Amino acid sequence: MFDSRASGILLHPTSLPSRFGIGDLGKNAYQFLDFLSASDQQVWQILPLGPTGYGNSPYLSYSALAGNPLLISPELLQADELLTEEDLASLPEYSADKVDYDLVIATKLPLLEQASNNFKNKASAQQLQKFQEFCDRHREWLDDYALFMGLKEANGGASWNQWDKEIASRQPDAIEAAVTSLQEEIFYHKFLQYEFFRQWKELKKYAHERKIKIFADIPIYVAHDSVDVWANPEIFCLDKETGEAALMAGVPPDYFSETGQLWGNPVYNWEELKKTDFHWWIGRVEGILEYADLIRIDHFRGLQAFWAVERGEQTAINGKWYEAPGEAFFTVLGERLGTLPIIAEDLGFITPEVEALRDKFKFPGMKVLQFAFDSDPANGFLPFNYVDRNCVVYTGTHDNDTTVGWFNERSPEAQARVVDYLGCVCPEGIHWSLIRLALGSVANLAIFPLQDILGLGSEAKMNSPSKANDNWEWRYRQEALTDELSDRLKHLTNIYGRSPQVVRN
């Protein structure tokens, strides 16, 4: 995956500074890439980029392939004369530290609608041609997505299986009538995707010019209320009468939860997927690789065997393991794409069979330092137990507390175990101690959430999996990325042989 040692930063674009209440693909994204480059970082890891619904989770998107319109930069739209300075003049007072999604949606979507109308009415022939080329190229998923979003709005945001039966079941006459009646809405949603991917393509180009790779994330499951399930019901385990998930995804009871985790997503009908040589999944991976260089598959173990719970259950206790054809899928995917730039999220309950699948295709696994200090010296997350360089080491992930918050929440005895292992804590703080530990490990790639680089506490957590609300909101302030911070990170990156300039025999 990497020919030499490298490191990078985990930051979702919503966490970038901007004057519009949420991070976007404008100037601050470019400035963040400048910070990465100046700090000798070679990877920018992001979370899924899809359009989000209730709860704002990037892991519950309306589409596995569409981009989130809230990430479109109004300033770039203004530069293209699709918005005016007057359009951007009356913005509310947004928080600089957290995303207020309700306020952002209420104020940003009207700007996007205005830009869409201006494009429709004023675009040159060349601009319209590029728009049409984009629509033609992505027709396989874009047509369904734009219609799905138009129908969702026309139905007051209701889930697709609550729509009229004819359109919920995609009867041809109903689809044709909806396409005719929702032409304006369909154009709008196609325009948003055109702008999102146009802006992202330029940002990715800028990253590559600075030798920075984009590291994206694929959630193994998709949301039930998504165009993917509505448009492809045959590849999911659904109740034929109601459209609800007949078998729901989750994980069984374990040390952390007596009742397991019941996620509610429909699981895949792998028999149907195999009949098509995994067409939908391969299209999904190819689509993500249009905007990313590397992919982490979340809940990788579900591609070897997955826990499924029948509809009506309230917990994950009464589930069952089902085998998945992961080996067959990755074989077909490799035949299509060649070398697979995939990282396996192999955390949690991992069996020898899951490890064999990961290792057969030489996928790097994950090591999380926050998990390393609460058992014995055989703990696989301790760096001296990394027997293979082909892995990615993290101080923590988006689902963990920040390193400072994690350490402060530990008991004095638990803190002492960490300090005993480290020998001492860096004068700059525990976060730099764990960053040093990750950088000094044999892992080919080391990744740190930006919150750890900044030394922030629990107030900067990105996600608390046990909480339904108040997640995905954290943002940093532009002044936090100082030259001093960049120099420190660059210095340590060089000491531990992860700078791009390091020459190896």
Q: Mind telling me the catalytic residues?
A: 298, 345, 399
Maximum distance among all Cα pairs of the chain, rounded to whole angstroms: 71
Unique residue bearing structure tokens 């010019």: 209
Which pairing describes strands 365-368 and 305-310: parallel, antiparallel, or unpaired?
Answer: unpaired
Record the tokens describing residue 453, joined without a space: 């680089």
Which pairing describes strands 391-394 and 365-368: parallel, antiparallel, or unpaired?
Answer: parallel
Which pairing describes strands 213-219 and 294-298: parallel, antiparallel, or unpaired?
Answer: parallel
Q: How far apart are CA 63 and CA 32, in angstroms?
A: 27
Rg (C-alpha) for the chain, rounded Å, is: 23
Q: How far apart are CA 365 and CA 379, in angstroms?
A: 15
Three-class SS state of 436: helix
**CA nearest neighbour of 364 among 382, 398, 389:** 389
Unique residue bearing structure tokens 């869409």: 116
Chain centre distance of CA 54: 16
**CA nearest neighbour of 401 among 460, 347, 454:** 460
Q: How far apart are CA 454 and CA 428, in angstroms?
A: 11
Compute how many other C-beta atoms are within 10 angstroms of the C-beta atom of residue 120.
Answer: 14
Residue 445 pairs in a beta bridge with 6, 392
Residue 294 pairs in a beta bridge with 215
CB 151 within 8 A of CB 178: yes
